[in-house]
Amino acid sequence: MSTITITAQDINKLRQATGAGMLDCRKALTETNGDFEAAIDWLRKQGQKVAAKRSDREAKEGVIIAKTSADHTTGFVVCVSCETDFVSKNAEFVAFTQTIADAAVANNVKSKEELNEVVINGTKVSDLIDDKLASIGEKIGIAKFERMEAAYVASYIHGANRMGVLVGLTAAAEDAGKDIAMQIAAMNPLAVDAASIPAETIERERAIVVETMKADPKMAGKPDEMIAKIAEGKLNAFFKEQTLLAQAFVKDGSITVADYLKSVGADLKVTEFKRVALG
C-alpha cells in the first residue's frame, strides 16, 4: 500500500480553505491519502457528526445582521447563533454572518431553508456552517430569518449585533426610518397599532384585566357594567404602551410616534416592522 507525505503546506492550505484546526486537517488528509477535495468532504462529514452530537446544546449567543436591498424595497434579518459570547464577539464570526446576510440579499432569499441552500463561492451555506462548526467547536446555525417588502424599508442593528430591526414605510424617509427602528428596538411594541393586534391577544388581555379587578377587594359589589367600563380604560392604556404609533416618541416624549410621522410627511405611514433579538 502506497503512502503519501502530508506536508505542513498541505495542512495549512486545507486549514485556510476550511477554517478547521491543524490536527483535524492533518487527520483529514491522512484519511483521504492526501486528496484535497476528499479531505474537505471528510471535514464536512465530521462537522455534521459534531452538529448531531451537540444538538442538545443551547445556542443563545450569536450575531444578528439587518440590511436592505440597494433600492430599499426589501429588508432581511439574519441571525447566526453560537453558544458563547467569546465566539459572537469574534470579528471573524461577525464577518462570517455578514457574508451569509449578503448572500440573502443578493439572492433575494425567502426563507431560512432557502438561505441554507444558497451557494457562496462554490459551497452551500449549510456546508459553510458545518465547516465553521468543526473549526470553532460550538453548535452554530441560522437561528432566525426575517424578510420584508415595502415601498421603503429601513434597517437598524442595535447593541453590537445583538438585535436587528426592519421597518416598512409607505415612502422613502431615511432619517425617519432609522428613528422608528430605534424606537422599536428600545420599546419593543407588540404591533403597529391597536388594529394590528390579534383579536385573541386583546381578549386575553381584557380577561386578565377583568379577573384582576374582580379579585380586588375594593371592587367588591361593583356592577359588571362598571367593571367592564374600567377594563376598557385599562385596555386603552395597554394599547398606548404596546402599540408603536401610540407610544411616546423616544426622542421627544411630548409627542407620539404617530405625531412624529405626521411631522415628517402627512401621508407617511409604517406598514409593518420586524424585531429580532438574541435570547
Task: Note the Cα 255 to chain centre separation in Å.
Answer: 30
The b/e string for 108-144 (b: 16+ C-beta within 10 A; e otherwise) is ebeebeebbebeeeebebbbbbbbbbbbbebbbbbbb
Domain 55-149, architecture per CATH: 2-Layer Sandwich (3.30)
Q: Give, to the nearest 10 degrees, the angle between helix 257-264 and helix 174-187.
A: 170
Contacts of 269 (CB under 8 A, 6+ apart): 169, 170, 261
Q: Residue 275: its pLDDT value, please? A: 96
Give a three-class secondary structure readout of the chain: CCCCCCCHHHHHHHHHHHCCCHHHHHHHHHHCCCCHHHHHHHHHHHHHHHHHHCCCCCCCEEEEEEEECCCCCEEEEEEEEECCHHHHCCHHHHHHHHHHHHHHHHCCCCCHHHHHHCEECCEEHHHHHHHHHHHHCCCCEEEEEEEEECCEEEEEEECCCCEEEEEEECCCCHHHHHHHHHHHHHHCCCECCHHHCCHHHHHHHHHHHHHHHHCCHHHCCCCHHHHHHHHHHHHHHHHHHHEHHHCEECCEEEEEHHHHHHHHCCCCCEEEEEEEECC
Asked if 8-53 and 55-149 have one fold, the answer is no
Q: Quick one: pLDDT at residue 65?
A: 98
Q: What is the pLDDT of residue 1?
A: 40
Q: What does pTM read for this prediction? A: 0.76
What is the pLDDT tens value at each position of the chain, 279 positions in all?
446 889 999 998 888 777 778 888 899 999 999 998 888 888 877 765 555 565 566 668 999 999 999 999 999 999 999 999 999 999 999 999 999 999 999 999 999 999 999 999 999 999 999 889 888 888 899 999 999 999 999 999 998 999 999 999 999 999 999 999 999 999 999 999 999 988 888 888 888 888 888 888 888 888 888 888 888 888 888 888 999 999 999 999 999 999 999 999 999 999 999 999 997
Q: CATH assignment of 8-53, given 3.20.20.10, 1.10.8.10, 3.40.50.620, 1.10.3720.10?
A: 1.10.8.10
Q: Could you give the CA distance from residue 108 to residue 111 in angstroms, rounded to a whole number?
A: 9
Minimal CA–CA distance to 183: which of 161, 201, 162, 156? 156
Q: Domain ranges in the chain?
A: 8-53, 55-149
pLDDT attached to residue 52: 59
